[in-house]
Every structure is written in C-alpha cells, then in structure tokens.
C-alpha cells in the first residue's frame, strides 16, 4: 500500500480580486514507504504546491490525498518539512536551541534532547557552532540548521523543497551524501523537490517529471536502479538516467518559455 497517495488532485488558487489560476489538474502520484522520490519540473510548474499540499499547508481543490490511507487533515508530526528558501529559525534561540525546540515541545527529556540536537548539529557539519544565533550564521549555515531541526524530530516522512538550493557546490555535495546516509540508515520516505537533474540522479530511487503549468500533472516517472558507486557522473548507468530525465524536461522547458512569451 502506498504511504502517500495523490489521486486526480487539482489545485486552483483564487486571488482576493476573484482571479483564479489552476496550478494542478489530474495530478496522480503514489509514494511507497522507504522511497526517495525526486520531483522535477520547470519553474512555476507546481512542485512547491504539491509539497505544500502533502505537508497539509495548502488544501487541494479537487481529488484526494491520503497518508497511510487516511485523508489529510492538516500538518502533523509524521511529516517534517524543509521549505524552499526557508528563513523561519527563531532569532532569539541559538542554533542548538532551534534544533531542540520541537523536541522540547514533544516533551522529550532534557538529556536526550541535548544528545539528539548535538548529533544532528554534527551531522550537518556545524559541530561547535551550536551556541550561535541565526543572525550570526551564514545563509547556508541557517539552511543546514533548518534541516537538522527537521531531522531531529525524526519524522516518518521528509518533505524537502530544494533544501540545498542556496548552498555552495561543495557543501551541497556533502549534504547530499549525508542525506543519503541518513536515508539508508532510517529508510524514511522522502519527497524531494529540485530542478537539478544531477541532484535527482544522485539521490532518488525514482524521479518524477512534471509538465509545464498551468494545469500541470506528472509527465512520467523513472526508476533509478543505481548503486551508491554508480551514482557518479562518469558512470554509464548514471548518464543513461540523466539523459532520460533531460529529454523529458527539455520539451517542458520549451513549452514554458513559449507560454511565457505569448
Ligand atoms: N498563493 C498563490 N496564489 C496564486 N497563485 C499561486 C500561489 N502560489 C503559487 N501560485 C502559482 O502556482 C504556480 C505553481 O507555483 P509553485 O510555487 O508550486 O511552482 P514551483 O514549481 O515550485 O516553482 P519554482 O521551481 O520556481 O519554485 C505558479 O504559477 C504560481 O504563480
Ligand atoms: Mg517551488
């Protein structure tokens, strides 16, 4: 049974002035437990909309979304979300305080809280920086604290919207490896949004490519059956998957550009 299921989902945004925009229509996707699904698509096609609906922050206007076969009724602790360009750290708390916040709310005892927060701080490469406040951290460091904060809550499902988009190439590659080892160790179910094909081929067990908007839906999904060793740009299997995704995406980029200019 799929863990997450979107069936014939549609989303129409309505502005206060009465204008409406149909972002998604007949969007279908099933995510099995333990899958690492990367969702790719042109800018504005509706990726964040899909993630926000699964997170429970946006209500779909058509169709059905279920988690564990139950219709969604809003955000919950089983789904941890890393937002696109997130800047939601509490400025009055230290980095460690931010990571610990959710654990404190969940009533986890102080000692365990500290241990977990330190563990995830180290995991995102910020050991020794836990005392700093958000204003004293760089953009990339803040983003890593956000990720540590979500991971520390140990949710069953990770929803990540371009979480490494703002990081430099080196840090990004380190974070991708860390995320893969966390995933390998915990087999969490991950919905990961990116517009970087390399990132998707590096991380995913399956890649979904969306049509250009409006009324976007899934165009195709591709299984990525590559070992860790094969997830290397020089590997033939990697190149094959890259080309498949690239071909799917190329036409959509052309359509999006044409629509934007007409
Ligand atoms: N609150 C809103 N009100 C009206 N329209 C919206 C709203 N949020 C998103 N949209 C529109 O819905 C479409 C999909 O937006 P979304 O943010 O999901 O795209 P995206 O694929 O995540 O893009 P990007 O890659 O640039 O992050 C866009 O055309 C956007 O303008
Ligand atoms: Mg987005």
* pLDDT reported for residue 124: 86
Rounded to 5 degrees, what are φ and ψ at 70?
Answer: -110, 135
* pLDDT reported for residue 50: 97
Q: Looking at the structure, do residues 143 and 163 belong to the same domain, yes or no?
A: no
Residues with CB under 6 Å of ligand 1 are 13, 21, 23, 41, 43-49, 84, 195, 213
Q: Is there a cis peptide before residue 214, judged by omega within 30 degrees of 0?
A: yes
Q: Looking at the structure, do residues 184 and 132 belong to the same domain, yes or no?
A: no
Number of domains in the chain: 2
Pairing of β 36-40 and β 62-67: unpaired
Q: Looking at the structure, do residues 228 and 110 belong to the same domain, yes or no?
A: no
Give the ligand with the smallest distance to the CA of 259. 1
Token pair in block for residue 60: 């779909």
**Digit-coded pLDDT (tens) for 76-103:** 989 999 987 767 899 999 999 999 999 9
Within a domain: residue 54?
Answer: yes
Is the pLDDT at 73 greater than 90, yes or no? no
Last residue of a domain, one of 154, 186, 206: 154
Q: Looking at the structure, do residues 189 and 116 belong to the same domain, yes or no?
A: no
* pLDDT reported for residue 3: 97
> Which structural domain range is residue 135 located in?
90-154
**Best probe residue, ligand 1, of 15, 41, 46 (max atoms within 8 Å of C-beta):** 46
* pLDDT reported for residue 230: 95
**CATH number of the domain enclosing 204:** 3.40.50.300
Q: Looking at the structure, do residues 201 and 161 belong to the same domain, yes or no?
A: yes
Residue 122: closest CA among 93, 103, 95, 102: 95
Question: pLDDT class for 204, splitting at 50, 70, 90?
Answer: very high
Within a domain: residue 191?
Answer: yes
The residues, any chain, with a CB within 8 Å of residue 77's CB and separated by 6 or more, are 106, 153, 155
**Digit-coded pLDDT (tens) for 2-59:** 999 999 999 999 988 888 999 999 999 999 999 999 999 999 999 999 999 999 999 9
* pLDDT reported for residue 140: 82
Question: pLDDT class for 242, splitting at 50, 70, 90?
Answer: very high
**Digit-coded pLDDT (tens) for 133-187:** 999 998 888 988 998 999 999 999 999 999 998 888 888 898 898 889 888 888 8
Assess contact for 204 and 233: CB atoms under 8 A.
no
Distance from residue 181's CA to the centre of ligand 1 (Å): 31
* pLDDT reported for residue 125: 86
* pLDDT reported for residue 187: 84
Q: Looking at the structure, do residues 72 and 149 belong to the same domain, yes or no?
A: no
* CA nearest ligand 1 atom 12, residue: 23
Last residue of a domain, one of 121, 136, 154: 154
Last residue of a domain, one of 136, 154, 172: 154
Average pLDDT over the chain reads: 93
Distance from residue 192's CA to the centre of ligand 1 (Å): 16
Cβ neighbours around 228 below 10 Å, total:
11
Q: Looking at the structure, do residues 172 and 245 belong to the same domain, yes or no?
A: yes
Q: Looking at the structure, do residues 246 and 170 belong to the same domain, yes or no?
A: yes
Q: Looking at the structure, do residues 74 and 183 belong to the same domain, yes or no?
A: yes
* pLDDT reported for residue 176: 92
pTM: predicted TM-score of the whole model, two decimal places: 0.94
Within a domain: residue 4?
Answer: no
Question: pLDDT class for 236, splitting at 50, 70, 90?
Answer: very high
Cα dist from 106 to 41, 54, 76, whole Å = 36, 22, 12
Pairing of β 36-40 and β 70-71: unpaired
Within a domain: residue 11?
Answer: no
Within a domain: residue 194?
Answer: yes
Q: Looking at the structure, do residues 51 and 106 belong to the same domain, yes or no?
A: no
Within a domain: residue 23?
Answer: no
Q: Looking at the structure, do residues 171 and 246 belong to the same domain, yes or no?
A: yes
Within a domain: residue 12?
Answer: no
* pLDDT reported for residue 84: 77
* pLDDT reported for residue 174: 86
Q: Looking at the structure, do residues 186 and 261 belong to the same domain, yes or no?
A: yes
Within a domain: residue 133?
Answer: yes
């Amino acid at each position: 049974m799929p863990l997450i299921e979107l069936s014939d989902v549609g989303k129409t945004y309505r502005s206060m002035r009465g204008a409406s925009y149909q972002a998604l229509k007949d969007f279908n996707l099933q995510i099995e437990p333990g899958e690492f699904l990367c969702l790719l698509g042109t800018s504005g096609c509706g990726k964040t909309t899909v993630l926000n609906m699964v997170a429970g922050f946006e209500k779909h206007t058509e169709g059905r979304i279920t988690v564990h076969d139950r219709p969604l009724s809003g955000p919950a602790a089983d789904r941890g979300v890393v937002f696109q360009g997130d800047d939601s750290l509490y400025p009055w708390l230290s980095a460690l305080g931010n990571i610990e916040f959710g654990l404190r709310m969940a009533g986890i005892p102080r000692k365990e809280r500290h241990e977990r927060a330190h563990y995830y701080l180290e995991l995102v490469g910020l050991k020794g920086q836990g005392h700093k406040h958000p204003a004293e951290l760089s953009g990339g460091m803040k983003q890593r604290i956000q990720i540590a904060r979500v991971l520390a809550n140990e949710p069953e499902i990770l929803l990540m919207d371009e979480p490494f988009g703002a990081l430099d190439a080196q840090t990004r590659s380190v974070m991708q490896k860390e995320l893969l080892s966390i995933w390998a160790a915990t087999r969490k179910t991950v919905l990961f949004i990116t517009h970087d094909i390399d990132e998707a081929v590096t991380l995913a067990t399956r890649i979904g490519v969306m049509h250009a908007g409006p009324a976007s839906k899934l165009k195709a999904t591709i299984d990525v059956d590559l070992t860790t060793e094969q997830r290397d740009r020089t590997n033939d299997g990697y190149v094959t998957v890259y080309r498949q995704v690239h071909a799917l995406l190329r036409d959509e980029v052309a359509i999006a550009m044409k629509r934007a200019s007409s």
